[in-house]
Amino acid sequence: MTEPAPDARSRRPPSRLAGLLFAGFLLAILVALFHRSLLGGRLLAQSDNLYLYPPWSASRPEGLRPQNPVLSDQTLVFLPWYRFEEECAKRGTLPLWNPSAYAGTPQLGSGQSSFFFPLRWIRAIGGDPNGAALYAVLRLFLAGLFAHAYLRTLRLSPLAASFGGLSWSLCGFLVVWLNHCQSNVALFAPLLLLLVERIAARPGPRPIAPLALVVGLQFLAGHFQTSLHLLLGVGLYALARAFVALGPEHPRLSARGLLSCALGLLLGTGLGAIQIAPFLDYLKDSAARRVFSEVEQVPVPPGASSIACLAAPDRFGNPAAGDYRGPEGPNLNYNELNGGWAGRLALLFSFGSLFLARRHRLIPIFGAFFLLAAAVVWRVPGFAYSLARAIPLLGSTKLMRLSLFVALSLSILGALGLDALLARLRSARARLAVGLGAIALAAVDLFSFAFGYNPEIEPAQNFPTTPAIEFLQRDRGLPRILAQPGVLPPNTHLAYGLASASGYDSVELERYRALVSLLSSDPNGRFFLKEIRYFDRPDSPLLDLLGVKYAILPEKQGLDPGRWRLAYDGEVAIYENLRAMPRAFVAKDVVVVRSPDVALGFLASPAFDPITVVLEGPTDWQEADMAGSEVEVTSYEPSRVRLRARMSARGFVVLADAYHDGWRVRVDGEGQKVWIADHALRAVLVPEGAHEIEFAYEPVLFRAGIWITGFSALGALLLLLRRGSAPAS
């Protein structure tokens, strides 16, 4: 066996007291960081940004400046989703399908749903205003404890381990993405490294179960891209440990250990299948599958000068201060630039470790991690970025998010550097003074970076209502709205119980995107509906087909009075579509086309009659007089819609909701085919007479995911119940 390096010396086992002291210290810092929302009645949320948009801008309190506009995804995505998912949970149903965005979309499949993540429900149980802050504190607290435990497992001194735990807990990646799902996943990074070390020390079946449990949890945490990045990094760490021994108590990862790690990853993926399966089911039919493989996610390079953000995060200003002036572009902003921040002292000690602890076997591992991740994040000329872009799946992700490993590497290298410095001091009093001084300085530096970045607002600023919104809420039917981009932006409508023909997601069903993009001449519609800057075809019959009853505009416009009636004139102008069709209707005629492109061309025509259904495949339907046929919605739930039809002849009943192959339909209890109607909607062929129709969202992949998760949980339990494991060879 390789002789251990001097800095990998054996010490007494990790002290519980040291861990408790660090836990208390870290908790005190986090409580101070969020004291305004934990103790002062404020709410840890960013929804004061609503005052940037009509209709809220008209009632913006005097002197109010939204505290951090760069965090708008919290308002436009996560907070509305939380409300929708929590309402589903209260009704005892799973949020498989969200009918109120995009005319319907797979909610659990968004790739950013954390519905099954146990920690996430702290925010719901805690309620407003404290729940969100409790959730944030818990995650940052666990992140710090995991890093501290990993470093103590490697026999670093308590002071050095505390320094590393603090640096990771308040690093840039966890702070800037605090109220996004990325932080849910990233917090597990040091715990996964610790579990690899456990397997290296005692390879065998039993350590597989804890590794699998954590892998499964990070999948449930709700950000598939970050999960991919994290597991790639952990896999590389395991491979590195197969070649590098850290000392007598930390031998190289044997072939058996590598197999255990692989099995843990596989079993953990199985545990996460209940969340992975809906995402893959959505992705296969999504616009993202096409766009992410074709388009560079960060087309504007961050620039070499932005590397200085590792030492000066506010080099280009700070959006929380309202003076950010740095690089901007698609997926490029302050958050992306500062994901690698770990504090100035961690950066200093990381460089110091190259001299003070140069023989420590972890230095080349995390040094390589830092260099590779930094080269990709900042696009340093060379092979790293090109290689990352060429790897399947990885190349389709936002590669700047690999700053996760920049921050993690600096936190660990910084702890190694401090540990080596302390070891060179002969006096215990000097070691204590230097160690505590370093921790105190790091705490001040990290606290100043984190404090105020995530807004803490008055509860009244969290999705306040306005007269225009109250007007829309009065309609108790099933109307849809379509707001001009920049007005009542999606998905904010979800917080008010409204349904929109548009939405905000990073995936989007491709068929529905293609259909609704016909309402705009904006070329951005070829990517995502969320990228459309204007809807400029108010005479399109597709608005009628989709049941868009209300168009919301920033001000009055000269719309066709024979079609549009000005229904509300206040903070915004709300026009009622006099031709909007009901959510379900009986088609009077059928047009069969050869291909999806032909269907879209037909639907784009101003002469298209929305009462005619366009199908893309052969049907045995015979032309008939459908006069007198009618259908009504008797029950409308997110994943289940019931209709009652009275048909004068055999014909198609169209439900103007988005199609997905997870939908099933039963007519009088018997399964029937769900037809793709009008390129992106649903239809069923119904016989003559009176019938009960039920559409139910029952995706096969989700059911498979449940079974895989169940069997994986059973396998993990059996491994845990095994007595002992083989010692290291």
Q: How confident is the model at residue 564 (pLDDT cuts 50, 70, 90)?
A: very high
Residue 331 has pLDDT above 90, yes or no: no
Cα gap 176→74, rounded to integer Å: 12
Cα gap 324→314, rounded to integer Å: 8
Residue 543 has pLDDT above 80, yes or no: yes
- Encode pLDDT of 153-193 as tens digits: 999 999 999 999 999 999 999 999 999 999 999 999 999 99
| Minimum mean pLDDT range among 298-302, 424-428, 492-496, 590-594 | 298-302
* Closest C-alpha among 253, 453, 456 to residue 361: 253
Q: How confident is the model at residue 356 (pLDDT cuts 50, 70, 90)?
A: confident
Helix (H) or strand (E) holding 564: strand 564-569
* Share above pLDDT 70 across residues of the chain, in percent, rounded to a whole number: 97
Cα gap 137→37, rounded to integer Å: 11
Cα gap 135→126, rounded to integer Å: 8
Instruction: Kindly give, in sequence order, each residue whose CB lies less than 8 Å from that of residue 620, ignoring residues fewer than 6 positions away.
Output: none
| Minimum mean pLDDT range among 64-68, 412-416, 437-441, 608-612 | 64-68
* Closest C-alpha among 167, 178, 175, 161 to residue 74: 178
Tokens for 145, please give them: 């404890």
* Closest C-alpha among 75, 88, 55, 179 to residue 492: 75
Q: Which residue has the tokens 């003076």?
A: 323
Q: Is 503 in contact with 546 (CB distance < 8 Å)?
A: no
Instruction: Kindly give, in sequence order, each residue whose CB lies less than 8 Å from that of residue 685, ignoring residues fewer than 6 positions away.
Output: 619, 621, 650, 651, 652, 672, 673, 675
Helix 362-377 vs helix 403-423: crossing angle, to nearest 10: 150
pLDDT of residue 14: 54
Cα–chain-centroid distance for residue 282?
14
Q: Is 232 in contact with 186 (CB distance < 8 Å)?
A: no
Residue 204 has pLDDT above 90, yes or no: no
Q: Is 280 in contact with 701 (CB distance < 8 Å)?
A: yes
Mean pLDDT of the 97-105 span: 96
pLDDT of residue 293: 74
335 upstream amide cis, omega within 30 of 0? no
CB burial of 617-628 (b: ≥16 within 10 Å; e: otherwise) equals eeeebeebebee
Give me the sign of the Cα torsion angle 388, 394, 395, 401: negative
Mean pLDDT of the 229-237 span: 96
Cα–chain-centroid distance for residue 706?
21
List, in sequence order, every residue forming a beta bridge with 666; answer none if it has no partner: 671, 694
Q: Is 342 in contact with 168 (CB distance < 8 Å)?
A: yes
Residue 376 has pLDDT above 70, yes or no: yes
List, in sequence order, every residue forming a beta bridge with 457; answer none if it has no partner: 43
pLDDT of residue 486: 92
Residue 310: Cβ-neighbour burial (10 angstroms; 0-12, 13-18, 19+): buried
DSSP E strands in 570-611: the ranges are: 573-577, 584-586, 589-592
What size, in residues, is the chain?
729
Q: Which residue has the tokens 């006099």?
A: 578
Residue 2 has pLDDT above 60, yes or no: no
Neighbours of 722 (CB within 10 A): 12
Q: What is the number of helices (H) and of strands (E) in the chain?
A: 26, 19
* Closest C-alpha among 462, 551, 435, 502 to residue 658: 502
pLDDT of residue 377: 94
Q: Which residue has the tokens 């850290």?
A: 246
* Closest C-alpha among 75, 78, 83 to residue 50: 75
Neighbours of 610 (CB within 10 A): 23
CA–CA–CA angle 242, 424, 245 (5° rounding): 10
- Encode pLDDT of 431-478 as tens digits: 999 999 999 999 999 999 999 999 999 999 999 999 999 999 999 889
pLDDT of residue 452: 95
* Closest C-alpha among 699, 657, 695, 696 to residue 678: 657
Q: pTM for the complete prediction?
A: 0.94
* φ and ψ at residue 693, rounded to 5 degrees: -120, 135
* φ and ψ at residue 301, rounded to 5 degrees: -60, 145
Q: Which residue has the tokens 């969340």?
A: 275
Q: Is 611 in contact with 617 (CB distance < 8 Å)?
A: no
Q: Is 151 in contact with 164 (CB distance < 8 Å)?
A: yes
Q: How confident is the model at residue 262 (pLDDT cuts 50, 70, 90)?
A: very high
Mean model confidence pLDDT for the chain? 93
Q: Is 715 in contact with 267 (CB distance < 8 Å)?
A: yes
Mean pLDDT of the 227-245 span: 96
Instruction: Kindly give, in sequence order, each residue whose CB lies less than 8 Å from that of residue 429, ignoring residues fewer than 6 positions away.
Output: none
Cα gap 656→668, rounded to integer Å: 20
Letter for the amino acid at 653? V
Cα gap 704→290, rounded to integer Å: 25
> Which three-class secondary structure string do you get for 337-360?
HCCCCCCHHHHHHHHHHHHHCCCC
Q: How confident is the model at residue 525 (pLDDT cuts 50, 70, 90)?
A: very high
